[in-house]
Amino acid sequence: MPAIDVNGLPASEVRPFNVLITGFGPFSRYSVNPSWLAVKPLHNTILTIDPLDEPVTVDDQTSLSEAHSFTQDSRDIHLSTLQVPVTYEDVLAIVPGLHARPPVLPPSADPDLPDIMPPTDGFDLIFHVGVAGRGPLRMERVGHKFGYNMKDATGSHAPIVRVTREENSNSNRGQSEPSEMERMERARLSEYLIEAPVDGTEPPKRGFGKGYELFPEEIFTEIDVEKLVHHLKKSGIEQIYSSLDAGHYLCDFIYYCSLAESKRTGGKADKSTTKVIFLHCPPVDQPLSTEEVTEAIKKSVIWCCGAAAKSAIPST
């Protein structure tokens, strides 16, 4: 499924899907973030939902004739990419604008890429990508509101959330131990750990506070991650699984923020909801190459847009 240069493709008669793919900027030992290496080649390109391509087959019960009928009205997919700094402050400053109508986007952080021309009616899908440790791809299902106890790339902390002692006690009950993925992130990024208070008191709760009070502690994506992962495995992307634990670092932070802003925008009159998904990739060649990660992103985007197009068709 080759990506086609936008400037070389005639305009489609049907409005294309507009998709924003984000990767992260430099941090730790990565002068160029592996997530950005995989995302960058997709800037200002177009994918096409082929009428005979399997990504539009949303489940095993969809017959070939049904899939063909559905894809008679298939659309192009316009991709834009954006590099996001690995800081809590930048995530909070940038992500709400991505969900605006029209989107409000920062200048390009990559000198090789031009600034994005935002689509007037917003993005249909925002696909976030970040790097994790060695291993397979992880398609994340949920973002978390609290529990951000590591410093970002500039050494800054996530915002302190002001809660009553009772609320803090209830929230932490049974959750004092870090999750498995969070332990892996802490081991991988030990230089970013926040030291516990020397007096033995409970560390402050960090995460999303002002402006996010009405959002739940967990927000799940509306995309059917299990079906997406199943499709990717069938299409040759075997080293991937779905995950309920995005690690409580900047990847989890941007995912929750984007999911919350999608809900906020979608709750307004005459505003459609932007779908949001997050993919964790490994460092380069541990074990997947950059090209393999890029291909997984492309296949995921096509499936997500195909599923969205099919769900918009009235049943007969």
CA distance 42 to 295: 10
Reported as a single tens digit per residue, the pLDDT across 48-91 is 986 545 443 334 443 333 433 444 456 899 999 999 999 999 99
Phi-psi region of 83 (alpha: psi -120 to 50; beta: other; left: phi over 0): beta
Pick the CATH number of 4-311 from 3.30.559.30, 3.40.630.20, 1.10.150.530, 3.40.50.620: 3.40.630.20
What are the pLDDT tens digits along the chain (316 aa)? Answer: 555 444 444 444 578 999 999 999 999 889 999 999 999 999 999 999 865 454 433 344 433 334 334 444 568 999 999 999 999 999 999 999 999 999 999 999 998 998 888 999 999 999 999 999 999 999 999 999 999 999 999 999 999 998 755 555 555 544 556 677 777 777 777 677 777 666 667 788 999 999 999 999 999 999 999 999 999 999 999 999 999 999 999 999 999 999 999 999 876 655 568 999 999 999 999 999 999 999 999 999 999 999 888 776 544 4
pTM, two decimals, is 0.85
Q: CB–CB of 259/125 below 8 Å?
A: no
The angle at the Cα of 294, spanning 181 to 257, to the nearest 5 degrees, equals 50
Pick the closest to residue 202 from 151, 143, 248, 146 (CA basis): 146
Q: What's the Cα-to-Cα distance from 99 to each of 25, 44, 229, rounded to whole Å?
A: 20, 19, 25
The mean predicted confidence, pLDDT, of the chain is 84
Q: How many residues are given for the chain?
A: 316
Q: CB–CB of 58/310 below 8 Å?
A: yes
Pick the closest to residue 92 from 247, 218, 260 (CA basis): 260
Sequence letter at residue 152: D
Residue 113 tokens, joined: 């890429």
pLDDT at position 69, please?
40
CA distance 245 to 229: 16
H, E, C per residue of 199-259: CCCCCCCEECCCCCCCCCCEEECCCCHHHHHHHHHHCCCCCEEEECCCCCCHHHHHHHHHH
Which residues on adjacent β-strands are paired with residue 144?
Answer: 218
Contacts of 193 (CB under 8 A, 6+ apart): 149, 150, 151, 186
Pick the closest to residue 39 from 138, 128, 143, 135 (CA basis): 128
State how beta strands 218-220 and 240-243 pair: unpaired
pLDDT at position 219, please?
98
Q: CB–CB of 305/19 below 8 Å?
A: yes
Q: CB–CB of 45/79 below 8 Å?
A: yes
Q: What are the structural domain ranges in the chain?
A: 4-311
